[in-house]
Structure 1
Amino acid sequence: MSSIEQGVLERMRIDKWLWAARFYKTRSLAAQAVAAGHVRLDGHTLKPAREIRCGDPLEIAIGDQTWSVAVHGLSDQRRPAAEAQQLYEESSESRARRAAQREVRQLAPVPGSDLRGRPTKKARRQIKGFNDSF
């Protein structure tokens, strides 16, 4: 579509909008999330081909975070993050809930989240000693 046609979009597929709004890295990931029921419109699950319009309220679950957004614009192209954020408006409750979840994760990280890669030689000896004691 040309840039002239882009301004007159009235409807577009939900998976394409989620990709353009940068909620998912690829369109196929967005389609899988919609098919799995992680995206809801007015509390109802959708199919990836469902068309949305400006003003539609969406609930998007990505991992343990839930976004409550209202569609403000439609774009058939994936643009920079600053422009993609103009396609939706997040509710204040959703913003506060995500901030609280972020704070909880920082204060009490998931056990083992600091472990990276293979154990060191010292860690392997400790593991072997622990396992041999049983």
Structure 2
Amino acid sequence: MKDGRIRIDKWLWFVRAVKTRTLAAKLASSGQVRVNRDKIDSASHPVKVGDVLTFPIGNRVRVLKVVDLGERRGPASEAALLYEDLSPAPVRSVGEETGESPAGDMAALQAAAVPVAVSGEGRPTKKARRQFDKDSGRG
């Protein structure tokens, strides 16, 4: 780390935003990462303390402010000290605010309607599988 800067792929790996340095390099090279609102497309792009990184991980957008550069990839508790999380709160569905979960109720109903295979009976026959699929609404 010369000049108080570090490669973005290395920093993303240090803070455990991705599992491997290779994945960090691919993310940085994909063009989906922004440093201070500017898109980057290089894994060697330098970041410094105070930079704000915006990038997608899964179905979320992470916004991290660089607080420290770090020396190594340590445990998660150490990695959390390297950034300030400015990410927006995850979007909640309508039922979650009131404590109700319409999707959860539907999943519970579907789980109750699915027949359960009895342990110890071995592999089902073709006839039993057809009946199972008919009873569970799959066939």
TM-score class normalised by the smaller sequence: 0.5 to 0.7
Match of 1:33 among 27, 35, 54: 27
State the percentage of identical aligned residues.
Answer: 37
Match of 1:18 among 12, 28, 43: 12
| Residues 11 and 52 in structure 1, CA contact (< 8 A), matched pair in contact too | yes
Question: Unmatched 5+ residue regions in structure 2?
Answer: 105-116, 118-123
Using structure 2 for the length normalisation, give the TM-score: 0.65
Match of 1:112 in 2: none
Partner secondary structure for residue 98 of structure 1 = coil
Match of 1:117 in 2: none
Using structure 1 for the length normalisation, give the TM-score: 0.67
Match of 2:69 in 1: 74
Give distance in 2, aligned partners of 1:59 and 1:10: 20
Instruction: Give the letter for the 1:49 counterpart.
Output: S
Structure 2 residue 55 is matched with structure 1 residue 60? yes
CA RMSD of aligned residues (A): 3.4
| Residues 74 and 87 in structure 1, CA contact (< 8 A), matched pair in contact too | yes
Higher helix share: 1
- Superposed displacement of residue 28, structure 1: 0.4
Per-residue CA distance 1:12-47 (angstroms, 9 max, x = gap): 000000000000110000111111123211222211
Give distance in 2, aligned partners of 1:59 and 1:124: 49
Instruction: Give the letter for the 1:37 counterpart.
Output: G
Give distance in 1, aligned partners of 2:92 and 2:78: 26
Match of 1:116 in 2: none
Equivalent residue runs for 1:1-134 within 5 Å: 10-46=4-40, 47-91=42-86, 94-95=87-88, 97-98=89-90, 100=92, 107=101, 108=103, 121=124, 124-125=129-130, 126-127=132-133
Q: Which has the higher contact order (CA 8 A, sep 6+)?
A: 1
Question: Unmatched 5+ residue regions in structure 1?
Answer: 1-5, 110-119
Give distance in 2, aligned partners of 1:35 and 1:127: 46
Match of 2:121 in 1: none
